[in-house]
Structure 1
Amino acid sequence: MTYVVTESCIKCKYTDCVDVCPVDCFREGPNFLVIDPDECIDCTLCVAECPAEAIFSEDDLPADQKQCVALNAELSKVWKPIVERKDPLPDADEWVGVKDKLKYLER
Structure 2
Amino acid sequence: MPYVIAEPCIGTKDASCVEVCPVDCIYEANDQYYINPDECIDCGACEPECPVQAIFPDTDVPPEWSDYIERNRVLSEG
Larger Rg: 1
**Unpaired runs of 5+ in structure 1?**
79-107
Q: What whole-Å deviation, never above 9, does each CA across 1:15-51 have from its counterpart, x for those lacking one?
A: 0000110000011112210000000000000000000
Q: Aligned partners of 1:22, 1:37: CA distance in 2, in Å?
A: 14
Give the equivalent residue in structure 1 for 2:77. 77
Q: Aligned partners of 1:16, 1:76: CA distance in 2, in Å?
A: 19
Q: CA RMSD in A?
A: 0.7
After superposition, where does 1:1-107 map in structure 2 within 5 Å? 1-78=1-78
Normalized against structure 1, the TM-score is what?
0.71
Q: Aligned partners of 1:63, 1:30: CA distance in 2, in Å?
A: 23
Normalized against structure 2, the TM-score is what?
0.96
**Unpaired runs of 5+ in structure 2?**
none
Q: What SS does the corresponding residue of 1:43 show, helix, strand or coil?
A: coil
- Percent identity of paired positions between Structure 1 and Structure 2: 46
